[in-house]
Amino acid sequence: MEEKPKINLVGKVIRRIIFIFFSFVILFVIIAGGVLYWFSRSVNSALQFSSPIMIQVQSGDTADSIATKLISNQINLNRRVFQYGARLYLKDVNLGFYEITPGQSIKSILTEINNGETKTVKVTFPEGWRMEQMAIRLDKNGIIDYSDFVAKAKDYEGKLFPDTYLFAPKMTADEIIAKMTVDYSVRTEELNVTKQDLIVASIVERESANDTDRALIAGIYLNRIKAGMKLQSDPTVEYGRDANALAKLSEADQKAYSFWSPAKTVEFASVISPFNTYLNSSLPPAPICDPGIKSIEATLNPQKSNYYYFLYGKDGKIHPAKNQAEHEANIAKYM
């Protein structure tokens, strides 16, 4: 009879231990649930900032460095939550430019990077454009400011290959120029293009109404060069006139400028420019535009002829001439 109190005491102790254990379990579940709820809410909550920003995810970037880039752009986020979220949602760090918009959550940003949803803009440059025209299009597409591109690209006229590109917003001028000049190098790798070739090709590009006439026009200009004649190319006058006009305009007016309007006869003598081949016997000092591959190939493989003049008539066809008299007769007949 004296053992019963001991048995009751042991039972009480066991019950007390079980109670404490389950109390801790319940407390742990409550705390863990609260933490998970807080984390889930934090990682899914809309981030508050005023306007879209662009970040570049580069080689070597980690969740912490990406968080730093976001914070440096005035996005208020919890770095620790971002890092924990990255463990769940960031399996692959895909390089590129990402547009982060107001209202996105940490989860959506990480998912965007994980899925490689980079921001790129397709931009096409036609053959025969000058670099200022390219700068205007880049500026309108939010790739780079007009003035930034013009400042760097002026030394690359002729080698900014006209093509369709995928650019990321806020790229630098150096990055854009590198992409375009590499394209030029690849396209002309086996052609051995000289500076003179490129200058002539740029004139051929602006003069030709179609692919069929390119080789003929190239041959005519090369005949004139060989004979020591002035090239007397209207597009060179237009280029010089436009360059002179741009130098006097504000950036806003430059971006609204209308390029390549047909040269007037009076401008052959009035446009003072080293590019004006009516006034200067030599070639222009640089290309007047960025020619396409067909104009470059035509210049390297010109059509041989005895022609030194040509014009496009009202019939839309090219009419070459061997001398001034024939040329004037063509003017009278076809213009």
The helix (H) or strand (E) run that includes residue 219 is helix 214-227
Q: Which long-range contacts (CB under 8 A, 24 or more apart) does 266-269 make?
A: 267/237, 267/241, 268/232, 268/237
- pLDDT tens for residues 23-58? 676 666 555 554 455 456 767 888 888 888 888 888
CA 335 to CA 331: how far, in whole Å?
5
Mean predicted confidence (pLDDT) in 222-231: 97
CA 206 to CA 192: how far, in whole Å?
22
Q: For position 44, what pLDDT does the model report? A: 80
pLDDT tier for residue 293 given thresholds of 50, 70 and 90: very high
Check: CB of residue 102 under 8 Å from CB of residue 52.
yes
C-beta atoms surrounding 197 within 10 Å: 20
Top pLDDT among 96 and 259 is at 259
pLDDT surpassing 70 at residue 104:
yes
Q: For position 35, what pLDDT does the model report? A: 47
Q: Which of 264, 260, 231, 230 is nearest to 243 (CA)?
A: 260
pLDDT surpassing 70 at residue 171:
yes
Provide the token pair at 173: 């001028």
Check: CB of residue 294 under 8 Å from CB of residue 287.
no
| List of domains in the chain | 53-114 (3.30.1490), 124-304 (no CATH)
Mean predicted confidence (pLDDT) in 219-228: 98
